[in-house]
Amino acid sequence: MARVELYVYDLSHGMARTMSLPVVGRQIDGIWHTSVVVYGFEWYYGNGIKAELPGQTIMGIPHQKIDMGVTEIPEDIFFEYIEELRQIYTFDKYHLLDNNCNTFSNAACEFLVGKSIPSQITNLPHDFLQTPMGQMIRPYIDAMFNPRPPQ
C-alpha cells in the first residue's frame, strides 16, 4: 500500500486569477500543471514522462497537494503501467489542450486509486475554449502542437 498525492501547480503564479476575467471573459483560477506522487517519486508529463524526488521538479513548490487516497497496486505493476503510458505520453504527442500533464495525472490516479483528479483541472481546456478568446486562439494552439507537414 502506498499513499497517492496529486501535486497542483499554477503556471501563471496567480496571474490567471487576477487577469482572466477582463482578458478572457471568464474567471480562471489558475493554469494548472499536475503531477502524481507515489512510491517516493513525483511523476509528471511534459517532455515525456519524468520521475523526480517530490518537490524537486522545475515547478518548485506546489500550489496545492491533494490526497488521492491509498493504492493497493504494487510498485512493480505501476512501473509496468508507466512503461505502457510512455507510448502515449511522448514529446511529440503532447498537446496543450488534449494530451497534457493533467490527462497523464488523471490516467495515473484512475489506475492507482480508481479516482479522477478534480474536474476544475481536467475541464480547464474545455472551459477556456468556450470563451470567445479560446475560440479565437484554438487554431493557433492546434497549429503549434499539430504542425502540418510541408507541402
Q: Which of the two residues, 151 and 44, has the higher pLDDT score?
A: 44
| Sign (positive or negative) of CA dihedral 41, 45, 50, 56 | negative
**Partners of 34 in the β-ladder:** 8
What pLDDT score was predicted for residue 25?
81
**Partners of 64 in the β-ladder:** 8
What pLDDT score was predicted for residue 20?
86
The answer to whether 101 is a known catalytic residue is: yes
The band of 148, judged by pLDDT with boundaries at 50, 70 and 90, is low
| Cell matching residue 77 | 505493476
The answer to whether 33 is a known catalytic residue is: yes
Domain architecture of the chain: domains with CATH: 2-145 (3.90.1720.30)
> Which member of 13, 101, 109, 126 is catalytic?
101
Mean pLDDT confidence for 108-119:
98
> Which member of 13, 33, 109, 126 is catalytic?
33
| 114 has a pLDDT exceeding 90 | yes
Minimum mean pLDDT range among 6-15, 65-74, 126-135: 126-135
| 42 has a pLDDT exceeding 80 | yes
Contact call for residues 34 and 63 (beta carbons, < 8 A):
no
| Cell matching residue 125 | 481546456
Instruction: Report pLDDT digits (tens) over 52-82.
Output: 999 999 999 999 999 999 999 999 999 999 9
Mean pLDDT confidence for 135-144:
89
Mean pLDDT of the chain: 92
